[in-house]
Structure formats: structure tokens, C-alpha cells
Amino acid sequence: MKRETKIRDAYKASRNVYDDVLTQKKPWTKFYIRFFWGIDDIEVSRLVLDAIPSDFSGKLLDVPVGTGVFTCETYKRLPHARITALDYSEDMLARAKARFAENGLANVSCEQGDVGALSHGDAAFDIVLSMNGLHAFPDKDAAFSEIERVLAPGGLFIGCTYIRGERGRTDFAVKRILKPRGWFTPPFHTKRELTEILKHRYAEVDVRNLQAIAYFRCVK
């Protein structure tokens, strides 16, 4: 089975619990996040999304958008921005599209696509946002290249991703649970490796972490 198919099927199977896990709405999801990750995903999302200017009115690419569970409220405060929400999983994208429609976000366009082969032109976006995506992308080199290509000079690349070597319980969960099920795809970078990759491509790079989640802000 191709890795892309495995990833698609994995996220299709998890579509009914995805939001609950990330937002810790149920006791078992709260236990999973706190025990294996030791962080609050809501806090990480705030640290990432706070990098978007409050008066932003340019073009933003959100890849992968997932279900839009963390970004919807932010996008409601950006009525003049033109947002493209892209995901490889049609199931995740359908949930995001419904969420944005329910909140009246006419400025958000949802697209199914592959981050490793984006259909958009060079320098098409002022901001590229990638939350919890890099550790899932099957071809990370292609993803890094395509994101850099579609980002305009002076633009922002912001996001968060799993990094190995920071928390034993997290590394165990990734190796024994998330990777076998297709939710996470190797290779997985350390914080130092991720920083070096980004520094090779961007003029300004700031990488920080909460436990095994790195969050970053890069300027092209």
C-alpha cells in the first residue's frame, strides 16, 4: 500500500475523533494528550496563530487544514484575508468546509490537494500556515520545497510539528501507535534538524518547542 493511501485511510478512519483528541473534550482524549504529550494543543495553536497580524488582508495558504478546529475562530477575525484551506484527506476537508460555511466564512476556499505538488503559482501567498502537518507529510522534502516556492518574498511560514528526542513517552506513542496507523510518517526530525532545514530556506528562522512539539516562524 502506498504511503499516501495509508495516510488517507488513516485520517478517514479518525475523522470522528480528530476534533475530540486535539481539543481534549473527552476524558480519554485528555488523558492521552497529557500522558503521552504533556502539553495543551490549544496553547500550541495560540502560539502559532498569534503570528498572523490582526489586520492581515493578504493571501494565506493553510495546509493541511484538517477540520479547521483551531483556525476557524482566527479566520473569523480576518474578513479581508483570502484564505486557501488545503488538505489531502477529502474527509477532513469536508468537515472543514462545513465548519467554515456554518460560520459564514465566504473568504475561505477549500481545496483537495497534495502539499508536495501544489497547483498554485510561485510567490502566490503572503503566509503559509502548516499546523501538525510536517510529521504527516510522506514526502517532506517536496513539501518544504513547494511551501517555499508558493510563498512570496518577505512572506511568513508558520506552523508546528512533532520533533523526536524531546519526550520519551511521545516518541513511544509515535513509534508504536501513530506511525503504524498511518497518522505520522517518517522521517521525523529533531529540533536541531528542523531548524537547519528551515535556515537553509529562509532569511529569518525562530524555532521553539513545548515538549515534543516545535512551533516556528520563518520569513522568506
Instruction: Give per-residue pLDDT as tens, 51-79.
Output: 999 999 999 999 999 999 999 999 999 99
Cross-sheet strand order for the sheet of 204-210: 108-112, 82-87, 59-62, 125-131, 151-162, 213-219, 204-210
Write down the pTM of the prediction: 0.89
Does some domain include residue 123?
A: no
Does some domain include residue 9?
A: yes
Range(s) of the domain holding residue 65? 53-113
Total of domains in the chain: 2
- CA 75 to chain CA mean position, Å: 15
Q: How much is the pLDDT for 26? A: 59
Shared domain for 166 and 218, answered yes or no, is yes
Mean pLDDT of the chain: 90
Shared domain for 203 and 138, answered yes or no, is yes
CATH number at residue 58: 3.40.50.150
Shared domain for 146 and 105, answered yes or no, is no
Instruction: Give per-residue pLDDT as tens, 12-57.
Output: 444 455 554 554 555 656 777 889 999 888 899 999 999 999 999 9
Shared domain for 142 and 218, answered yes or no, is yes
**113, 146, 163: which is the final residue of a domain?**
113
Does some domain include residue 124?
A: no
**61, 78, 113: which is the final residue of a domain?**
113
Q: Closest Cα partner for 207 from 157, 150, 169, 151?
A: 157
Does some domain include residue 127?
A: no
Q: Which pLDDT band holds residue 10 (cuts at 50, 70, 90)?
A: very low
